[in-house]
């Protein structure tokens, strides 16, 4: 079986998914849509697919699935639209910045029984998958604590900050999902500290650039997330799971594994410093998993609910910083 795809949104991340779909033997990129015709045409030229409008894609019964890479504020509408049109949907995170909106959207998905997968790409990184597998195989015993260090090489542009929903909903959300993925039990409460240490302007825009978060589950399992928008040594992405029998940890990634030694010491190169380079394999695995779910008629994961719960943790963290207290996830889920 070959799954026919349409790509909605031909920007940076759209290109990544276009490549992943085209390279997959069980999929075909049939159409692309973008508000900027040139962007769509470039994809079409490279992969030999048609440029279409959203409406045309919706009407084209030969399209089995859509990949939504449009701006965040269009995600929920598009999900609902294509769910109603009976298509499988892969949507980049987040579904929306409003929990209420996400909840409404997921009701439509549920009602239409549409397949929806949300783009938490890191679950598909081979190294994090390796840790998860070790955990599932019992290598660490009962999971007790998940420690995540996640630092960007540098802050995003200021105009991005203003529409990102803030660091918790934009950056930490990946770590919230990773914590949930590794904990194997739902976090129920959140404490967060937040500061502006990297760039004052970020503070003036109402956001933070350095945050730390504690999570706990009903049974007391713990997670820590440490974020900074600056790491001069590259894109620092570490996950560590402690359990009753041991610990499993994923190491950082470099472009080349060499070491130069001299009188000042032994030096290895800095880390990969761009999320697309760091997560190249994760993006490919992610789309492959979506396709595999469709062809095997199994549920796609991470699901819309995973998207909702990561957002809830972000909202709880925002509230925790504001109120200076531990916030229950139930408070923000309404």
Nearer to a second copy, 112 or 226 (CB): 226
- 98 vs 156 by CB, closer to a second copy: 156
Residues 88-127 that bind a second copy (CB under 8 A): 126-127
Instruction: Tell me how far apart the alpha carbons of residues 51 and 37 are, in angstroms, rounded to a whole number.
Output: 8
Contact flags string 235-264 toward a second copy, x per CB under 8 A: -x-----x-xxxxxxxxxx-xxxxxxxxxx
Query: What is each CA distance from 177 to 50, 81, 201, 217, in whole angstroms?
Result: 35, 26, 28, 14
**Beta-sheet pairing, 236-243 with 50-51:** unpaired
Number of residues assigned to the chain: 334
Q: What number of chain residues touch a second copy (CB under 8 A)? A: 69
Question: How many Cα atoms sit within 13 Å of 287 on the Cβ side?
Answer: 33
Between 103 and 253, CB nearer to a second copy:
253
Tokens 């918790």 locate to 168
Residue choice 103, 164, 228, 285 for contact with a second copy (CB under 8 A): 228
For position 193 contacting a second copy by CB under 8 A, the verdict is yes
In the complex with a second copy, which residue's Cβ is closer, 262 or 296? 262
Nearer to a second copy, 214 or 333 (CB): 214
CB of 47 to a second copy, least distance (A): 13
> Least separation, in Å, of the C-beta of 113 and a second copy?
36
Q: Are 210 and 227 in contact (CB under 8 A)?
A: yes
Residue of 112, 88, 85 lying closest to 27 (CA atoms): 88
CB 79 within 8 A of CB 116: yes
Q: Does 139 bind a second copy (CB under 8 A)?
A: yes
Among 112, 149, 295, 301, binds a second copy (CB under 8 A): 149
DSSP-derived pairing of the beta strands 327-328 and 187-195: antiparallel
Alpha-carbon span 176 to 191, nearest angstrom: 13
Q: Report 195-214 residues binding a second copy (CB under 8 A).
A: 195-198, 210, 212, 214
Residue 56 parent element (H or E): helix 54-59
Q: What are phi and psi of 247, to 5 degrees?
A: -135, 145
Contacting residues toward a second copy, per CB under 8 A:
126-127, 129-131, 134, 139-140, 142, 144-145, 147, 149, 151, 189, 191-193, 195-198, 210, 212, 214-216, 220-222, 224, 226, 228, 230-233, 236, 242, 244-253, 255-270, 323-326
């Amino acid at each position: 079986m070959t799954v026919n795809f349409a790509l909605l949104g031909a920007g940076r991340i759209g290109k990544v998914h276009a490549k992943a779909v085209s390279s997959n033997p069980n999929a075909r990129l049939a159409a692309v849509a973008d508000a900027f015709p040139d962007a769509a045409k470039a994809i079409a030229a490279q992969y030999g697919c048609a440029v279409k409008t959203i409406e045309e894609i919706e009407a084209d019964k030969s399209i089995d699935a859509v990949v939504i890479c449009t701006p965040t504020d269009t995600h929920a509408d598009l999900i609902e639209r294509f769910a109603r049109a009976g298509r499988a949907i892969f949507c980049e995170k987040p579904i929306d910045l409003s929990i209420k909106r996400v909840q409404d959207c997921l009701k439509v998905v549920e009602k239409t029984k549409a397949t929806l997968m949300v783009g938490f790409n890191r679950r598909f990184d081979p190294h994090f998958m390796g840790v998860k597998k070790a955990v599932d195989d019992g290598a660490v015993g009962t999971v007790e604590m998940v420690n995540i260090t996640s630092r960007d090489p540098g802050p995003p542009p200021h105009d991005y900050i203003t529409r990102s929903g803030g660091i918790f909903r934009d950056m930490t959300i990946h770590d919230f999902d990773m914590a949930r993925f590794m904990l194997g039990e739902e976090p129920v409460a959140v404490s967060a500290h937040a500061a502006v240490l990297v760039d004052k302007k970020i503070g003036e825009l109402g956001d933070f650039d350095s945050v730390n978060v504690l999570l706990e589950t009903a049974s007391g399992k713990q997670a820590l997330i440490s974020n900074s928008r600056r790491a001069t040594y590259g894109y620092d992405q570490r996950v560590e799971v402690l359990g009753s029998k041991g610990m499993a940890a994923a190491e950082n990634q470099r472009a080349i594994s060499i070491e130069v030694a001299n009188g000042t010491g032994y030096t290895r190169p800095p880390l990969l410093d761009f999320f697309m380079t760091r997560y190249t394999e994760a993006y490919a695995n992610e789309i492959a998993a979506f396709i595999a779910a469709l062809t095997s008629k199994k549920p796609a994961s991470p699901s819309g609910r995973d998207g909702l719960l990561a957002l809830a943790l972000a909202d709880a963290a925002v509230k925790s910083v504001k109120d200076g207290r531990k916030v229950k996830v139930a408070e923000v889920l309404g």
